Amino acid sequence: DAKTTQPPSMDCAEGRAANLPCNHSTISGNEYVYWYRQIHSQGPQYIIHGLKNNETNEMASLIITEDRKSSTLILPHATLRDTAVYYCIVRDLYNQGGKLIFGQGTELSVKP
Amino acid sequence: DTGVSQDPRHKITKRGQNVTFRCDPISEHNRLYWYRQTLGQGPEFLTYFQNEAQLEKSRLLSDRFSAERPKGSFSTLEIQRTEQGDSAMYLCASSLAWRGGTDTQYFGPGTRLTVL
């Protein structure tokens, strides 16, 4: 079973920041938080991952709370092409062979 | 385009037929994963390889399913005696795993199987 909880859907206005929350209250010390997204009928696309510290790349920022029990993915200036299902995944590299366990994700709709 | 390719992209078959899918990972990647995704659900893990060794298989991978990665490069997933419940998107991902670090999985476009 997935170890994360995400809202099933969210809306965001084009050009505004999209903030996607994720709860992972049972995360353990060696588990990473990964974010992927999946645009309709395509394979999942890697976005970003982190362990403790906040991370930023060209796609997004990942903010992890100090207790690591939740995180937020931030798309700073959402465009219509960011409409997708976003998956937050807690990944245990050492005990689960590195497989990704997907939940239901958050369906983000970016509206004009 | 992540560099992971899958063939075919779409497959329609009749119940009881055998089908085979191919995945070509990013060239230097030593890990290769197979996932299955049904409509409205997130992808589910099926199996993975490190080089040519198959290290883990999900209980979803029934006896009718077999996967190989003979030379540690491309992989095939075969489904024998297909059933309508096998209709799904089959996704392949690859990664470069190294000691002491994380590996990021990059997914291919998937093969959509429809069993009539």
With a CB cutoff of 8 Å and minimum separation 6, the contacts of B40 are: none
Could you say which of B102, B105, B109 has the minimum Cβ distance to residue A32? B102
Q: Say what percent of chain B tops pLDDT 90.
A: 83
Q: What is the pLDDT of residue A85?
A: 97
With b for 16 or more beta-carbon neighbours within 10 A and e for fewer, the B49-87 pattern comes to bbeeebebebeebeeebebebeeeebbebebeebeeebb
Interface contact A104, partner B, CB < 8 A = yes
Mutation site for A-interface testing, chosen from B5, B104, B111, B114 by largest number of A Cβ within 10 Å: B104
Mean pLDDT, all residues of chain B: 94
Please identify which residue in the block is written with the tokens 């709709």. Answer: A109
Asked if A49 is an interface residue toward chain B (Cβ–Cβ < 8 A), one would say yes
- Given a contact cutoff of 8 angstroms between Cβ atoms, the answer to whether A20 and A109 are in contact is no
Question: What is the pLDDT, as a whole number, of residue A1?
Answer: 67
Amino acid found at A98:
G
pLDDT tens string B19-57: 999 999 999 899 999 999 999 899 999 999 999 999 999
